[in-house]
Amino acid sequence: MNYRHAYHAGNFADVLKHVVLLALVEAMEAKPTPFAYIDTHAGSGCYALEGKEAGKTGEYRDGIRRLLFPDLGADNGQAATLPPLLRRWLDGILALPGNEDGLKLYPGSPLQAARAMREGDSAHLCELHPEEAVRLRELFARDGRVHVHHRDGYEALKALVPPQEKRGLVLIDPPYEAQDAEYRVIERALKASLARWPTGVYAVWYPIKLRSQVQPFLRGLQHGMARRVLRAELLVHADDSPLRLNGSGMVILNAPWNLDEVLREPLRAMARLLGQGQPARWNLDWLVNDSGDTAPPPRSPAPRSPRPR
């Protein structure tokens, strides 16, 4: 994909990924003890939406900017109200310094997580690209909770887990430049990390072009990886073309108990607001439940949101 996140900041895939991330951070904060946040592919941390990269693609216009107008396609006044989680997420971004006069900056995963974390929590951010690692260090130079690692995130996991806090969340969000081979790398990293830290929460973002490309990865997660695996997906196009990003998903290993209920209404609202020429579709289901039972991923996404009017 030759992916540089600055070109795609704030797009529909980011909306899904970062709303799920906020839900996970809030779940971690349900307990008073500190937790660690580990980001294997952190990027530079913050992106100018009218800058050279994001301005060139304009993908945020069909992503976060649509949430600024929740009455778009609404059937009634109630539908025009963003669900509380989605509202908190959007308000947090609009409260970022630099966004006082409107949506100008989009914070990446590291900055969104750090802004949601508490004083006693910690963050370990891994970024291999030298220029982006420099920007990341500059961004967090005054935040003692945050540690930036200029190294391969998969390799860093071997040293970072389990964290000192014993509680925490790992976000694996690679650029998928290796296409299908990336999934094998993720599988190996998850297996090794779970062996050392079986109680950690692991969230993996993945792109959806052809459904056949992601199905083997999802099926692999159903066999012995973790006792609870939740899948959340949002598709703005049919998953039958390799030429574009049709959707994206998040799988969460050791997902919090009620995360599916927390995400249900936000996903339904995202599907209504972010559809591109046709109703967006979404999936939210347990690939593995607590008893170890598995359910094969359905062949086609469901349910559908109402068609915008």
Q: How far apart are CA 18 and CA 231, in angstroms?
A: 15
Residue 269 confidence (pLDDT) above 80: yes
Quote the DSSP letter at residue 240: B
How confident is residue 4, by pLDDT bands cut at 50, 70 and 90? low
Please give the backbone phi and psi of residue 251, each rounded to the nearest 5 degrees, phi first: -115, 135
Q: At what angle do helices 109-116 and 130-139 cross, to 10 degrees?
A: 20
Q: How far apart are CA 225 and CA 196, in angstroms?
A: 13
**In this structure, are residues 145 and 121 in contact, taking their beta carbons and an 8 Å threshold?**
yes
Number of CB atoms found within 10 A of residue 88's CB: 15
State the pLDDT at residue 299.
43
Residue 89, classed as helix, strand or coil, is: helix
User: pLDDT tens for residues 9-65?
Assistant: 999 999 999 999 999 999 999 999 999 999 999 999 999 998 777 666 789 999 999
Q: How far apart are CA 123 and CA 114, in angstroms?
A: 7
User: pLDDT tens for residues 143-187?
Assistant: 999 999 999 999 999 999 999 999 999 999 999 988 789 999 999
Can you tell me the mean pLDDT for 284-294?
78
Residues 6+ apart with CB under 8 A from 184: none
Count CA atoms closer than 13 A to 54's CA, side-chain side: 25
Can you tell me the mean pLDDT for 199-209?
97
How confident is residue 289, by pLDDT bands cut at 50, 70 and 90? confident
**pTM over cut 0.75:** yes
User: pLDDT tens for residues 209-232?
Assistant: 999 999 999 999 999 899 999 999
Q: Which helix (H) or strand (E) holds 55?
A: helix 52-57
State the pLDDT at residue 291.
55
State the pLDDT at residue 77.
56
State the pLDDT at residue 120.
97
In the numeric block, which tokens belong to residue 185? 């790398």
User: pLDDT tens for residues 66-120?
Assistant: 999 887 656 665 567 899 999 999 999 999 999 999 999 999 999 999 999 999 9
Cα distances (Å, whole numbers) of residue 20 to 24, 32, 86, 200, 233: 6, 21, 10, 16, 11
Question: Which is nearest to 173 in space by CA: 203, 141, 209?
Answer: 203
Q: How far apart are CA 167 and CA 199, in angstroms?
A: 8
State the pLDDT at residue 298.
45
| β-sheet bridge partners, residue 18 | none
User: Catalytic positions, please?
Assistant: 173
Q: How far apart are CA 16 and CA 36, in angstroms?
A: 22
Question: Which is nearest to 20 in space by CA: 193, 173, 215, 238?
Answer: 173
